[in-house]
Amino acid sequence: MTGADRPGEFELIARVFAPLAGEGAFGLVDDAAVLTPPPGEDLVLTKDAVVAGVHFFPDDPWDAVAQKALRVNLSDLAAKGARPLGYLLGLGLPDGWRTEDAEALGRGLALDQDAYGLRLLGGDTVRSPERLMLSVTVFGAVPAGRMARRGGATPRDVIVVTGTIGDAALGLKLRLDAGLSGRLGLADADRDHLLDRYLLPRPRSAVAGAVLAHAGGAMDVSDGLVGDLAKMAAASGVAIRLDASRVPLSDAARAAIAADPALLRTALGGGDDYEIAVALDEDDCDAFVDACRDAGVAATPIGRAEAGRGVTVVGTDGAVMDLGAGSYAHF
């Protein structure tokens, strides 16, 4: 399809993105939007970008790419105990984009707007010759002064994580090595589960209220469990001791690790989990786990904060594991 066959910038906005606009966006015909914080609440802002060849594969479907771009930001909001209000979208379209690609972006965003309760407020659309890029800024709200911070862990806190760890990192390995699933002897269902967890994150928005009610410190797990806990430890001025045998794994991840035990390191440090790690008083632990369960999300105690610095990972054999940085790094 040639450029002449595609809608121009303003037609694209009117056709694909204006139907997604929320209150204060003025139908996306103005240069800015208005967002009024709810009475007695603070705005919480977060921003993440996803780039083809870095955060997703260039041949991934564009509706899934749009959902991933939104969900990685919603994960940050959930970890702050915030509920979503709206978002801004910066979109870089590569040469050769098709009308149906842009329409798929709109469908993916519409699905998740409905699922997670937020609306588009504005943004910008530009040419990005080499690759697709989406940059999303999400706005949420929490009661004034109540946002759960990364630096809120204290010695003797219990460290709890939602969901399962390592699925997406293992799914990425399967995408990069087409023969790996066969060599590991994975069932088709296990292979598909791991691939899907990499393609589409599951932000734990359902437990934002539980985080707000119980967590002393919290952050989303996006760059790797061990590395992200190291960030929490540094921000809080504590050490964290992690028991690898207690880290929750899906059946698919367990099958992969049983076939190749070295993949446990991938699971613990590979990234793209988009779960929530919280630090909370031991007396609040059961209530938090119960609240998560009631919201349909499992939560598992995996370690403790203590005096000191850094993260210690105790392996399934009781020995200390060396995972290096234990996280993904862009640079």
Is 60 marked as binding a ligand?
Answer: no
Is 124 marked as binding a ligand?
Answer: yes
Is 135 marked as binding a ligand?
Answer: no
Is 177 marked as binding a ligand?
Answer: no
CB neighbour burial string for 277-314, b if at least 16 within 10 angstroms, e if fewer: bbbbeeebbeebbebbeebebebbbbbbbbeeeebbbb
Is 228 marked as binding a ligand?
Answer: no
Q: What are phi and psi of 159, to 5 degrees?
A: -100, 125
The residues, ordered by sequence, that sit 6+ positions from 324 with a Cβ below 8 Å of its Cβ are: 269
- C-alpha to C-alpha distance for 303 and 301, rounded to whole angstroms: 6
Is 112 marked as binding a ligand?
Answer: no
Is 245 marked as binding a ligand?
Answer: no
Picking from 151, 165, 158, 324, the residue whose alpha carbon sits closest to that of residue 241 is 158
Question: Which string of DSSP letters, residue by residue, matches 267-290?
Answer: HHH-----EEEEEE-HHHHHHHHH
Counting DSSP H helices and E strands in the chain, the numbers are: 11, 11
Is 326 marked as binding a ligand?
Answer: no
Is 149 marked as binding a ligand?
Answer: no
Sheet strands side by side (includes 275-280): 217-221, 275-280, 158-162, 299-306, 239-243, 310-314, 320-321
Alpha helix stretches (DSSP H) within the chain: 9-12, 62-79, 99-116, 167-176, 180-184, 188-199, 208-214, 225-236, 251-259, 263-269, 282-294
Is 59 marked as binding a ligand?
Answer: no
Is 30 marked as binding a ligand?
Answer: no
- C-alpha to C-alpha distance for 257 and 227, rounded to whole angstroms: 20
Is 284 marked as binding a ligand?
Answer: no
Is 31 marked as binding a ligand?
Answer: yes
Annotated binding-site residues for ATP read 123-124, 150, 222
Annotated binding-site residues for Mg(2+) read 31, 46, 48, 76, 124, 220, 223
Annotated binding-site residues read 31, 46, 48, 55, 76, 123-124, 150, 220, 222-223, 272, 328
